[in-house]
Every structure is written in C-alpha cells, then in structure tokens.
Structure 1
Amino acid sequence: MSSFQVIVGSMLGGSEYVAEACEETLLALGHEVEVHLQPDFAQILNEKQTWLICTSTHGAGDYPDNIQAFVTDLQNTDLDLSSVKFLTIGIGDSNYDTFCYAAKNINKLLLSKGCSETVSLLTLDMSEDIDPEERSQQWINENKDHL
C-alpha cells in the first residue's frame, strides 16, 4: 500500500479532527500514515509517497499559522517534486468570499511544482449541516482506487 503524509493547516482545530479521521480511514485501508500538525517541508519530503493536505483558511484567504513555513519552503524549492502525489481537503465557510482559499491555493502551488493530483480537491462547507470528519472519510473510501 501507499505511504501518506497528512499535512495539517489549522487555527482552531477543525482541520486536525478531519486529518485524524482521514488517518483512521487510510490505516483501515492498509496504508502507512503520518500526521504532521507542525509540518516541516524538509522532513516530509520523500519519494514515493502521497501528501494529503487538510487545511482551513485564515483571515482574508491566508494559510493557517502552523502551515505557513511549509508553504514558504514549498514555494521556494527548486527540487523535482514530480514523484509527489497529493490530494487536498479544504475546510471553510461559504459565507466568506475567501471560501477554502488556502486549500485552493496550495492545490495550485503543488500542481505548479510538478506534483500529481490523484483526487480532485474536496471543499467542506461548515455553513451546511455536515459532519466534516464523516464526509472526509466517505470521500477517501469513494476514491480509494485512486489513492
């Protein structure tokens, strides 16, 4: 099975809960999983792995504080990232015009660096009556053949 690095961007903890639910589902599917609550680009970067980005958006479309250094290092790297596969979950509130900007922006950044998106971006709208952990687990199970 695959090796997953779950990279969390969170200000208030909601993304952490989603990441933990994803970890549970990925483990049940037989994958190796490591969750990074303080992601360090140099430590995470490795060949033949998949990155699962779980991030909320902060302020006016910004990345949460704990993931900003990771994003900066990603933006500045000259490394060949073509072996990195990824999928992204964005958590936000569609009442804001910056709905899931952090997730959308990191998705674009990863593509621009040559990474391969295995499953299209999932956005979770907290203004709806949903269980984000359950929805993310369902999404992984629905796409397990593409992981």
Structure 2
Amino acid sequence: MAAVILYGTETGTAELVADAIADVLASDFDPSIYDMSEFAAEDLDPEDFLVVVCSTYGEGELPSGALPFADELDDVKPDLSGMRFAVFGMGDSVYDDTFNRGGEIMAEMLAKLGATQVGEHHRHDASSTIKPTAAATEWAAGVKSVIAEG
C-alpha cells in the first residue's frame, strides 16, 4: 500500500515534518510527499493511505499552502469512500480557541467526503519544548501499524 503525505504550510515547518514522517514510513511503505498547493483533489486514490500534515495560520485558518487543495476539495467534492487518513496538526496553544484548527479543518473536510480518520490525531504545540520533527517521528511509528491494519 502506498502512503501519500500531503502538507499545508505557511513557513515550511510542515514540509520538514512531512519529510520526517516519510523517513519512518519508508521502511514498510512507499511514501510520496506533496505540497497541498500542488496536489489535485482528483488525484486522491482511496487505495492509498493519506497522511495530512497541516499547520494553523492567522485566527485558526488553513495556511496559504493548503488553501488551493481545500478549495478544490470544496469544488470537486471527490468521493473518498474507502480512503483512510491520519492527521498531524500543528499549532500554538497560546492561541487557545484556535489551537491546531488547521489540521482539524482538513480532517473535517476529508471526513465529509467519505474518508475515515484513523489513529491518533496529533496536535503539536509550538509552545512545547518538543521539536515538531521529533514528535512526528514518534507519531509516525504508531501510524505504521494503523496503515498495516488496512
């Protein structure tokens, strides 16, 4: 089974996180990494396992890198029945009400189109002392078993 990793970023950190996740998944799966701004919604394949890495921007919004993909999901509304996905969200708990909202928005959009979220929805906190890539490496190890279950 192939793993497709999509990242939405404002500053580039989500791309680094996506790379760290791909490194962990590479031993058992064939991960591909794409910037959401360059990935077409119609290219989503329910046979693939989807990993979404998404930061939060502004007042709990999607980062600019995720907007083209999100807009296309809204317009095209692909049938994602049978697709399984996991989310690694990124945010800062200083923004209490909107903490990690970017990842949650993407999860809601995919679920609305029929995809099923599995595994732990990780919510990384930029205010913590844990580096996002370190958290992603640990999280991805757990995701490996979830992918294998499919």
Q: By the TM > 0.5 criterion, same fold?
A: yes
Residues in 2 aligned to 1:9 and 1:78: alpha-carbon distance in whole angstroms: 19
Residues in 1 aligned to 2:129 and 2:6: alpha-carbon distance in whole angstroms: 25
Let me know the Cα RMSD of the aligned residues.
Answer: 1.4
> Paired residues, what number?
145
* Deviations, residues 32-69 of structure 1 (Å, cap 9, x unaligned): 11111234224632230011110111111111111101
Call closer, same or farther: CA 1:14–1:78 in 2, change over 3 Å.
closer
Match of 1:17 in 2: 16
Residues in 1 aligned to 2:49 and 2:86: alpha-carbon distance in whole angstroms: 8
Contact residue 7 and residue 39 of structure 1 kept, 8 A: no
> Which of the numbers 18, 30, 33 marks the counterpart of 1:32?
30
Match of 1:70 in 2: 69
Residues in 2 aligned to 1:16 and 1:70: alpha-carbon distance in whole angstroms: 15
Match of 1:109 in 2: 109
The ranges of structure 1 where at least 4 consecutive aligned residues each deviate by more than 6 angstroms after the TM superposition are none
Match of 1:118 in 2: 118
Give unpaired runs (5+ residues) of structure 1: none
Give unpaired runs (5+ residues) of structure 2: none
- Summarize the alignment of residues 25-104 of structure 1 with structure 2, pairs less than 5 Å apart: 25-28=24-27, 30-37=28-35, 38-42=37-41, 44-96=43-95, 97-104=97-104
Q: Once the two structures are aligned, what percentage of the paired residues are identical? A: 25
Call closer, same or farther: CA 1:19–1:84 in 2, change over 3 Å.
same
